[in-house]
Amino acid sequence: MQDFKREIALLLAEQLPEGLELDLEEMIEVPPKPEMGDYAFPCFKLAKYLRKNPVKIAEELKEKLEPRGVIADIQQIEAYINFFIKKSEFSRQVLDQVLRHPDDYGSQQIGANKTIVIDFSSPNIAKPFNIGHLRSTVIGGALKNIFEYLGYEVQGINFLGDWGTQFGKVIYAYKLWGNKVDLSQEPIKQLLKLYVKFHEEAEKNPELDEEARAWFRRLEEGNPEARKLWEKFRKITIDELKKIYDRMGIEFDEYSGESFYSKKADEVAARLEEMGLLQESEGAMIVDLSEYDMPPFIVKKKDGTTLYAVRDLAAAIDRYERFGFTQSLYVVGQEQTLHFKQVFKVLELMGYEWANRCVHVPFGLYLFSGEKMSTRKGKVIFLEEVLDEAVSRVREVIEEKNPGLEEKDKVAEMVGVGAVFFADLKNTRIKNVPFDYDKILSFEGETGPYLQYTHARITSLLKKGEEQLDLDKIDFDQLKEPEEMAVIKTVGEFPAKIQEAAQKLEPSIIAKYLISLAAAFNTFYNAHRIITDDLTLTRARLALALAVKITLRNGLKLLGIKAPDQM
């Protein structure tokens, strides 16, 4: 809790020389073991200023410090000074903050008057929403929730891949074989079949690729037939995508796409030429980035068509002009790391001082037997099928474990979708994730269903004890057992964990935190009765349980996961 850290920092500052360029409050840590105190101050950085061994500094500083206020005891261990907070004060401050502000516990206003733009999900039109799109969607969705909770104005943008040569392929494939497909039934799967067939046939007849490029040129030039087919495919795709986004609870402030920036890309290319940044290379027009140890940034191909890289430049410029963002985040796979380094460098060379506010948020891929998916080969797993399978498995468990549960289908949907989300978000985003149906849909161990079940268990407990719970009559002195203090400490870490997740652009920090919170509560739950014969003790423990429920619910919400009251 910041108030405790602030008091410790003030105490330390009184005994240290003035003028130290150190943020003492920021340096304070939480020890790994409860017996080592509630907070610890490492003296290593002080060695640079005081020119002494850190252990010697800690020893001398400890002799000068006296407990006061909420600080019950001070100890020195090696180069650390450890502080013990009065249990009742610690409990009161943490729980009061949660219980008095349940709907927004953990929220902060550090982002007031600042705007974050988040580009995430961004599937291609005329292609299925497959499991490969899940990572960008849930990571971006979680970051959007996190930044909004911290008070930022957030613009969530779904930047659709709706332009480029691939659409020449889809258009030409539809003209060749479209009479054999029915786009009124599962239209995306039908378009995928056409796309796969095109690549199979193009391997035998390379002239098909030339025809596809010609159709894309027609599309860029505004050919009515090409434009009509493209608009048809785009509308079909967005309509299907919105159904899945609604199911996932993912919202965007706008759907845009590369097509919107096709004309603006020509303006950007002209500007690059005016600035003397463009040069010809083997018939193509490029920005030479060899000075920055990067390959050339291709602006136009030999046939004069622009590439998606230039459309990314146009989109970045447009977003800054519209939003004046503090940061613009691109939640895109790590295989695009070089691309974004190039885009940001070219923006910098164009003189945009805000170029360093553009940040690539890379993530690993789902792997299948060590390989990634291929839309061209039709090797994809539809996300909707994964969600359906998860919900179906949860429904079976409910029928077996709790057949009398009300609203079984609603609960199965919440838990099934939550399982898929959490299986992704608990991983550090940069790591590749082996796709394993059983692991992703498992409801044992460190999973979304485990957290949801803990929430439901607490809800049931609170219902049993609702007559005893009175938030105006809590005696915080009752909460002194080690298991109780471990829960309270963990609850109190929630606001800092949200900040850390935002700073590191890492939703897994919150996912892992929620696992530790549920584990701490379940240890407490198994060690002590909550509803006892002692009303004062019962009331305090019920308040503690309620604080855990609130924190679990708020944390899951940040990850885009719902918390059912019954399971």
pLDDT tens column, 79-94 = 999 999 999 999 999 9
Of 408, 419, 416, nearest in space to 391 by CA: 416
What are the contacts of 57-60 at 24+ separation with CB within 8 A?
none
What's the whole-model pTM score? 0.91
Does 358 fall in a domain? yes
| Alpha carbons 433 and 431: distance in angstroms, whole number | 6
Mean pLDDT of the chain: 92
pLDDT-above-70 percentage for the chain: 98
Reported as a single tens digit per residue, the pLDDT across 224-233 is 999 999 999 9
Reported as a single tens digit per residue, the pLDDT across 430-463 is 998 877 777 777 777 899 999 999 999 999 999 9
Does 95 fall in a domain? no
Between 125 and 143, name the one with better pLDDT: 143
Does 93 fall in a domain? no
> Are 533 and 404 in a shared domain?
yes
> Are 55 and 6 in a shared domain?
yes
> Are 188 and 289 in a shared domain?
yes
Task: Tell how many helices (H) and how many strands (E) occur in the chain.
Answer: 21, 13
Least confident of 35-39, 57-61, 150-154, 192-196: 192-196
> Are 362 and 393 in a shared domain?
no
Does 481 fall in a domain? yes
> Are 343 and 490 in a shared domain?
no
Per-residue pLDDT for 394 more than 70? yes
> Are 267 and 355 in a shared domain?
yes
pLDDT of residue 184: 82
> Are 265 and 126 in a shared domain?
yes
Reported as a single tens digit per residue, the pLDDT across 305-356 is 778 899 999 999 999 999 999 999 999 999 999 999 999 999 999 999 999 9
| Alpha carbons 22 and 217: distance in angstroms, whole number | 59
Q: What is the mean pLDDT of residues 169-175?
A: 92
> Are 408 and 348 in a shared domain?
no
> Are 397 and 350 in a shared domain?
no
- 390: domain range? 383-425+436-558
CATH number at residue 522: 1.10.730.10
For residue 373, name the pLDDT band (cuts at 50, 70, 90). Answer: low
> Are 198 and 152 in a shared domain?
yes
Reported as a single tens digit per residue, the pLDDT across 214-251 is 998 899 889 999 999 999 999 998 998 999 999 999 99
Does 110 fall in a domain? no
| Alpha carbons 441 and 389: distance in angstroms, whole number | 8
Number of domains, the chain: 3
> Are 357 and 441 in a shared domain?
no
Reported as a single tens digit per residue, the pLDDT across 396-441 is 999 999 999 999 999 999 999 999 999 999 999 999 887 777 777 7
**Are 314 and 264 spatial neighbours (Cβ–Cβ below 8 Å)?**
yes
> Helices (DSSP H) in 404-507: which residue ranges?
408-425, 437-440, 448-464, 482-492, 494-504
Per-residue pLDDT for 374 more than 60? no
Q: What is the mean pLDDT of residues 129-137?
A: 89
For residue 372, name the pLDDT band (cuts at 50, 70, 90). Answer: low
Between the alpha carbon of residue 406 and those of residues 393, 410, 440, the distances in Å are: 17, 9, 26
- For residue 429, give the amino acid letter: R
Least confident of 326-335, 372-381, 387-396, 538-547: 372-381
